[in-house]
Structure 1
Amino acid sequence: MLISINFYLSKKIQDLFRMSTEFYNINLKKCKMKMTILALVFATGFSTVALAQEKKENVKVPSVVEQAFQRQHPNIKAKWEKEDGKYEAGFKQNGKKMSVLYTAAGTLEESEVEIATDQLPASVPQYITQHKLGPIKEAAKITKANGTVLYEAEVKSGDALFDVKGNFVTLKKD
């Protein structure tokens, strides 16, 4: 009788073990499936964000825009981008990074020249520190077609623009 009870208990323990193993295997498979679906959702989300960027590089530049650029900057090769229907040529001249922005009709809208951060108006670093915008990564002087000059300070959250006197104008988010 003792042997039959031991056998019976042994059989029940084995059944319990088998059932718990099957339960964990099923849950493990569900977990793997959830992880796979989650990974696909993230991958799709990141690729959508990358495609939603407004700047487009290596674009077909209209000939009137290329001609306008070559008239102002002969023998300079530029990397072209299209942003909000306008064409931006990025290039180096005299060791400085520069860019010019044209309309689709070839009209110059603005030019931008890299400058050292110590060439920014004195109040710019003070404003950036007071408003906790982070360190200045790069600085530039922007000259609009009408002669208006702005200063640009690239910070953590975007590009902070200032007028000639160093007064804050706007923050263009990245």
Structure 2
Amino acid sequence: MDNDRFARTIKNARLKKGYTQSQLADLLNVSNKTISKWETGKGLPDPMYMLELCQILDISVNELLTGEFIEERNYQQKAEDNLLMMASQEVKQTKKMFFYENVIGIGSTSIFLIIGVSIALKIETEEGYYECQKCHHKYIPSYQQVYFAMHYGRTRYMKCPHCQKRSWQKKIYSK
């Protein structure tokens, strides 16, 4: 929808009927600033005003939507074009909403997953200790060591701070 053509149509139809912006605004129960916005292309009428606006200005909805006065022989074609344009805009809007839904869904799921994993790892570093399989040294690793260590279950592949050797070290909960 071309806002400038739309705006010119409203203004030309209003002038043709001999209304001022204030008079048209009073008939529609809106402010004259609203009419001014419509006529300058800075805003579009809410769909609830379009039918009443067309009746007051003695133009068809098709003429309002296309931004031009339509001859009787072209009326059917313009009506079909307007319906196709509106259907196309609705499809675009629906696709846009699906995109936003996906972005928000994936983003929020990722955030909750990261927070959940971070909390679980924090708890893991604070409860119990690990025992080196090489020298049997018992220690509590840092959050960073636990975070970056390969693991399966509660066993992690880490470097022992005592013997400096890497091994699969089991989590032990009681001392």
TM-score, normalized by the shorter chain, greater than 0.5? no
TM-score (ref. length: structure 1): 0.34
Larger radius of gyration: 2
The structure in which a higher percent of residues are helix is: 2
The structure in which a higher percent of residues are strand is: 1
